Copies of this chain bind each other. A is one copy, B any other.
Amino acid sequence: MSAHLTDTRERFLRQIAFLIEIDRVKTIFRKTRLLSDKRYENDAEHGWHMSLMALILWEHSNQQVDISKVVKMALIHDLVEIDAGDTFLYAEDQKDKTANERKCAERIFGLLPEDQRDEYLELWEEFEAKETAEALFAGALDRLGPVMQNYYDGGHAWKMHNVTADKVLKVNSQIKKGSEEIWNYAKTLIEKVVERGDLECKDRQ
């Protein structure tokens, strides 16, 4: 085989090694259950749904976005949970989470050829930093899913983990930075869960 062919093959096999490793994200289960079944959702399903939310709802982003980039973020944002595990959005200590996830990002994206490793590490960092229009919109979609799941599931994950209405409203109000339209909708759902008595308002009392 010529040197060029050997390089192409080696590059291809590194890409395949990455694609095999990320299969494990299908075994990382979240705190929320499906809309269509009473079982917990895994990170691969969440990434798929979030990508479709991006494609369908992009016109509601506050700022113009490069939608392909938002979809890429949606597809890869939870790969870091392969080593770090799923962290509940309402967990008090998010510091360990960040360090563990960064270590995992370096390991997982490090399986790829260098140019792709750099591209995807950078994209993941951008998503985490929540500064660009794309990261803010992707962040809004990342939160929309669980709000809908809790709404259709009697506030299941919120109740299970003793999260109060104030905290749900506060944490999810970040959605507003990516999309006012999506936040209006999400806020209405949260308020309806409170009205139904499925979410406690302790912090307000």
Contacts and interface: CB of A to CB of B under 8 A. Distances in A.
Given A8-B181, A19-B49, A45-B26, A55 B72 contact: yes
- Range of interface residues on chain A? 35 or more
Contacts of A55: 72, 75
A55 B22 CA distance: 13
Contacts of A26: 34, 36-37, 41, 45
Interface of A: 8, 12, 15-16, 18-20, 22-24, 26-27, 34-37, 41-42, 44-45, 47-49, 51-53, 55-57, 60, 67-68, 71-72, 75-76, 112, 116, 148, 152, 181, 185
A16 B41 CA distance: 19
Contacts of A181: 8, 12
Given A34-B26, A48-B45, A19 B68 contact: no
Contact of A23 (B34, B56, B75): B34
A34 B185 CA distance: 36
Contacts of A22: 49, 52
A15 B60 CA distance: 11
A27 B19 contact: no
Nearest to A82: B36
A36 B67 CA distance: 30
A44 B53 CA distance: 13
A56 to B, nearest CB: 5
Contacts of A19: 49, 52-53, 56-57
A51 B23 contact: no
A25 to B, nearest CB: 8
Q: Which 8 A-B pairs have the closest CB atoms?
A: A23-B35, A48-B48, A68-B68, A24-B36, A44-B45, A23-B36, A44-B48, A15-B56
Contacts of A47: 48
14 contacts: A12-B181, A15-B56, A19-B49, A20-B148, A23-B36, A26-B36, A26-B41, A27-B36, A44-B44, A44-B45, A44-B49, A48-B48, A51-B51, A51-B75
